[in-house]
Amino acid sequence: MADALRVCTRHLATECANPRRTGSVGAYAVQMARNAGLEIFATAALPDLDYVRGLGAQTVIDYRHTRFEDVVPAVDIVLDLVGGDTGVRSIGVLKRGGVLVSPVSAPPAELTRKAGVRPIFFFVDVTTVRLNTIGKLLDSNKLVSKVGTVLALADARVAHEMLAGSPHARGKIVLNVGNR
């Protein structure tokens, strides 16, 4: 994520929510972009608009009522955390030479080539340097992680159901492995 943000020059558009929940990856991305001084356009559902603004997005679009491409100007980078049609539509808001980053799905190569944008499809590449950087951001409160639900280890199945879309509080799902 931090490496992708280094590509930005001025603007980031991120789809930081899906219809079931506000995602932690998007929440972290908005905070990192804010710390990098970028102008941030983000999408979220109505109940999450203020939350995403509070993370640092200057413009938050209710994706259920407004198509982001009708609001977002040409941007340098899009972080697509939804995939599918959203990823394809994201190509249209990128400047020529812009970057479409997605851990969800790679956009059609023909579309990105014609638009003159660079797609980056990635999986998490964990390194000590990156983890130390994130740790420093957390320690300095420049990056905040919200805990939404704490469950006993015996409830690990419930946690997996929540990850798969079962209702739960906004934020991280934590398994408590202690005796408390």
Could you tell me the CATH number of the domain that includes residue 70? 3.40.50.720
CB atoms within 10 A of CB 95: 17
Is residue 135, in this structure, part of any structural domain at all?
A: no
Q: Give the per-residue pLDDT at 139.
A: 93
| pLDDT at residue 81 greater than cutoff 60 | yes
Q: What is the pTM of this model?
A: 0.78
Residues 16 and 85 occupy one common structural domain? yes
Note the pLDDT of residue 123: 72
Q: How far is residue 108's CA from residue 4's CA, in Å, rounded to a whole number?
A: 20
CA distance 179 to 176: 8
Domain identity same for 6 and 80:
yes
* Residues 160 and 115 placed together within one structural domain of the fold: no
Residues 153 and 78 in one domain: no
If asked whether residues 6 and 91 sit together in one domain, one would say: yes
Number of domains in the chain: 2
On whether both 12 and 52 belong to a single domain, the answer is yes
In whole angstroms, give the CA distance from residue 78 to residue 117: 10
* Distance from C-alpha of 117 to C-alpha of 92, rounded to nearest angstrom: 10
- Note whether 127 and 150 are within 8 A (CB): no
Contact 173, 151 (CB under 8 A): yes
Whether 57 and 45 have beta carbons less than 8 Å apart is answered as: no
Confidence of residue 180 (pLDDT cuts 50, 70, 90): low
- At 165 the pLDDT is 82
Report yes or no: 14 and 30 within 8 Å, Cβ to Cβ: yes
The pLDDT tens digits for 55-74 are 999 999 999 999 999 999 99
Same domain, 151 and 117: no
Are residues 109 and 158 both part of a single domain?
no
In a domain? residue 126? no
Dist CA 123 CA 69 (whole Å): 26
Residues 31, 110 within the same domain: yes
Q: Give residues with Cβ within 8 angstroms of 63, minimum separation 6.
A: 15, 17, 43, 44, 45
Provide the domain limits for residue 160: 146-180
pLDDT at 13: 52
Q: Give the residue-averaged pLDDT of 16-33.
A: 68
